[in-house]
């Protein structure tokens, strides 16, 4: 089994398009691992990642303006296949001697594109395809040694390629569902042009991550905060498969869980997977802190802070624990802000640890999207009804109770929630 850093990779450079995560997802869905990286990535960093192919994404800026995101032109000399999409194509043309200008006729929406299907990049496509266009700039001159391979009524250079090097640019968005046969085009690039095998699966992911976890942890111990939610459950089961009893889970029952949820966690994971889980009954402690509090945001903060205090207290009772496992997802990292996107939210799994908690982090899911985590859970043997259950945020029923939280109100909400789910 190859190590994770040696697995086939398509690198997507993020120039701020609303479709950037979708590009990465489409590639993964076709069986090839893909990652988003900032435009500031250097050629040396790219070499270290050793990608089979590079995608320059779309984006909202204009390549000829001062605030445009840049690319190191040396990328085009690496010998690695490069596909520029929309802004990415314009960036390639701009850097290699072409011209990009504001278009008098903008193209937005599904558009009929005429393709030169004799070119290998368009194999398995028709001479005319309906593809999504979304651009207000256009290429008016292509660099030397590039040729036109597609056009529309309003866009002379809808796609181009270098005559001898594996450099391609398309003005359309093949990753969009509005691009008919867009997946076919992407598959041709990653499989035939970039030479990927298309064998990235959750089964292979498990093998790779187990090897990484064992190498990182060695004979040391790992602590995991388990909530019963999908992310923490999959994290715990994966790590347990790698290191067995070296993992200890702390399950904080704050009294705000759904009906029977605490017992379910212990039964399914403690008994079903034979995991070492310490269950902490902290109901009275949480309700005491929440007494007299009606504001929803204040309740969230109290619950979040108290959870950390309880977890910290229990963790302090354990000895020789060096690692803390978290269920951070790829989207958590993306949502916490990149060079091309403002922070949507400061995610609770990114930078939310107390400063005095001296653990090394293990985040085995931090390259996966949510539905990939669910697929991983199924592959690990977690029952489908748990993997696909309704998401349940950390504050639990506490944010469903209007006004002050009391045991009577919790009981009513808990029973009504159970009836609704049944």
Q: Using alpha carbons, select from 241, 88, 238, 246 the residue that is nearest to residue 169.
A: 88
229 is annotated as contributing to ligand binding: yes
207 is annotated as contributing to ligand binding: no
Candidate list 8, 107, 129, 175, residue with the active-site label: 175
> How does 287-304 read in b/e, with b if 16+ C-beta sit within 10 Å?
bebbeebeeeeebeebbe
Question: Helix (H, G, I), strand (E, B), or coil: what is residue 224?
Answer: strand
Q: Residue 142 carries which DSSP code? A: P
295 is annotated as contributing to ligand binding: no
377 is annotated as contributing to ligand binding: no
Q: In what order do the strands lie in the sheet with 146-151?
A: 33-37, 9-13, 53-56, 82-85, 167-170, 159-162, 146-151, 99-115, 128-141
29 is annotated as contributing to ligand binding: no
Backbone torsions φ then ψ of 409, nearest 5 degrees: -65, -40
Q: Using alpha carbons, select from 5, 17, 52 the residue that is nearest to residue 32.
A: 52
Which ranges of 148-290 does DSSP label H, i.e. alpha helix? 182-187, 202-217, 230-243, 261-265, 283-290
175 included as an active-site residue: yes
Q: Which residue has the tokens 């850093």?
A: 5
43 is annotated as contributing to ligand binding: no
Distance CA 198, CA 391 (A): 31
Backbone torsions φ then ψ of 221, nearest 5 degrees: -110, 150
Candidate list 94, 135, 173, 254, residue with the active-site label: 173
Query: How many CB atoms sit inside 10 A of residue 26's CB?
Result: 23
Question: Helix (H, G, I), strand (E, B), or coil: what is residue 6?
Answer: helix
Distance CA 323, CA 310 (A): 18
Distance from chain centroid for Cα 244: 27
Strands 360-362 and 321-325: parallel
404 included as an active-site residue: no
Q: Which residues make Cβ contacts (< 8 Å) with residue 392, sequence separation at least 6?
A: 228, 229, 258
β-partners of residue 248 are 223
249 included as an active-site residue: no
Candidate list 8, 86, 135, 261, residue with the active-site label: 86
227 is annotated as contributing to ligand binding: yes
Q: Using alpha carbons, select from 390, 397, 232, 240 the residue that is nearest to residue 311.
A: 232
How many angstroms separate the most distant Cα atoms in the chain?
76
- Give the H/E segment covering residue 302: helix 296-315
Is there a contact between 327 and 291 (Cβ–Cβ < 8 Å)? no
- The annotation places the binding site for ATP at 227-233
Binding residues, by number, are 227-233
Q: Which residues are catalytic?
A: 86, 173, 175
């Amino acid at each position: 089994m190859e190590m994770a850093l040696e697995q086939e990779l398509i690198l997507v450079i993020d120039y701020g398009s609303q479709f950037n995560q979708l590009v990465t997802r489409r590639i993964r869905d076709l069986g090839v691992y893909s990652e988003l990286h900032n435009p500031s990535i250097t050629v040396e960093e790219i070499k270290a990642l050793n990608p089979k192919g590079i995608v320059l994404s779309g984006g909202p800026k204009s390549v000829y303006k001062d605030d445009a995101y840049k690319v190191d032109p040396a990328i085009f000399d690496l010998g690695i296949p490069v596909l520029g999409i929309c802004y990415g194509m314009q960036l390639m043309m701009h850097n290699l001697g072409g011209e990009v200008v504001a278009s008098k006729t903008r193209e937005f929406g599904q558009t009929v594109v005429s393709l030169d299907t004799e070119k290998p990049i368009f194999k398995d496509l028709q001479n005319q395809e309906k593809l999504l266009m979304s651009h207000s700039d256009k290429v008016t001159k292509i660099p030397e040694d590039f040729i036109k391979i597609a056009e529309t009524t309003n866009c002379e250079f809808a796609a181009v390629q270098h005559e001898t090097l594996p450099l391609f640019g398309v003005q359309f968005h093949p990753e969009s569902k509005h691009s008919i046969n867009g997946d076919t085009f992407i598959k041709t690039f990653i499989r035939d042009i970039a030479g990927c095998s298309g064998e990235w699966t959750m089964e292979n992911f498990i093998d790779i991550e187990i090897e990484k976890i064992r190498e990182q942890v060695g004979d040391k111990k790992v602590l995991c905060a388990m909530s019963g939610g999908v992310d923490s459950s999959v994290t715990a089961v994966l790590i347990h498969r790698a290191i067995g009893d070296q993992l200890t889970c702390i399950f904080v029952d704050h009294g705000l869980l759904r009906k029977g949820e605490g017992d379910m966690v212990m039964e399914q994971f403690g008994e079903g997977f034979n995991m070492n889980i310490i269950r902490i009954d902290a109901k009275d402690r949480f309700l005491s802190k929440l007494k007299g509090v009606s504001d929803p945001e204040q309740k969230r903060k109290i619950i979040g802070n108290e959870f950390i205090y309880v977890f910290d207290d229990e963790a302090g009772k354990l000895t020789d624990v060096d690692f803390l496992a978290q269920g951070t997802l790829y989207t958590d990292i993306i949502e916490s802000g990149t060079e091309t996107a403002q922070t949507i939210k400061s995610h609770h799994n990114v930078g939310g640890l107390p400063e005095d908690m001296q653990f090394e982090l293990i985040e085995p899911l931090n390259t996966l999207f949510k539905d990939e985590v669910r697929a991983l859970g199924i592959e690990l043997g977690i029952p489908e009804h748990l993997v696909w259950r309704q998401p349940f945020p950390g504050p639990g029923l506490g944010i469903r109770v209007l006004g002050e939280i009391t045991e009577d109100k919790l009981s009513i909400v808990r029973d009504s929630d159970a009836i609704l789910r049944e």
